[in-house]
Chains A and B, each alone.
Chain A
C-alpha cells in the first residue's frame, strides 16, 4: 500500500540556518503531495502542496519540489526562525483515494 517515510527528529537548528527535512513516498497511482505543520498547542495546517511531477509548492519561505524520479518531496527553507519550531508532516493522497497518508512527523527545534 501507499506509504510516506520521513527523516526522524528532532532536528535542532540555530536561527538563520538552512533546513532540509527529507520525505520519500510509495504510491500506486499519481499522488498529490503535501506538507502539513503542527505548531505547539495547535491543529494541523497545510503548509504547501504539489499535485504533479516537477511542481514546486511554496509558502512562508518553505519550498518542496515533487520529484517523481526519486519519489521524493523534501522540505527546505533557506533561513529558519524560532517561530518555525513545530512538527512537520509529509503526506500524500493517491489517485482515486481521498484519505491522506502521513509520515511519522519530524519535530523541528530552532534556537535563537
Chain B
C-alpha cells in the first residue's frame, strides 16, 4: 500500500497570505502527527490526532496555526497570515496506534517558502 502522502510538495506564498497543507495518512492508521523542520529549530512537534479524541495542540507555535482531521483520515494544516519565520518543511506522520515504541511513518513533506 501507499505511504503517507502530502500536498503540495512545494508552496511559495507571500507574507500575510493563508496556506493549507494536506496530509493523507496510511490507510488504517489511527494516529496522525504534524511536525515542522526548519533550519533554526530542527524538527519540532506541532499537533497530533488520535481517533476521535481531542487533538494535542501543545506544539502549535501561535494561534495562526490550526489543523483538522476529517473522517479520521485526511488532515489539513492551515497557517493564517503567514510570516517569513513560517518558512520550513512541514512533515506529516501516521502510526497504527498510540503505544510506546510504535513506529511513526513520515511523508515526504511540504516545503513552504514565505516571501
- A residues with a Cβ closer than 8 A to B are 32, 36, 42-46, 49, 51, 89, 91, 93, 95, 98-105
Contact = CB atoms under 8 A, between A and B. Distances in A.
Contact of B33 (A32, A42, A95, A98): A98
A44 B56 contact: no
Interface string B82-115: 0000000001010000101101111111000000
Interface of B: 3-4, 31, 33, 35, 42-45, 48, 50, 56, 58-59, 91, 93, 98, 100-101, 103-109
Contact of A89 (B3, B43, B108): B43
Given A49-B103, A105-B43, A99 B91 contact: no
Nearest to A31: B100
A99 B100 contact: no
Given A32-B100, A99-B45, A104-B42, A44 B106 contact: yes
Contacts, number: 53
A74 B31 CA distance: 28
Contact of A98 (B31, B108, B109): B31
B36 to A, nearest CB: 11
A101 B100 contact: no
A102 B42 CA distance: 8
B100 A51 contact: yes
Contacts of B33: 98-100
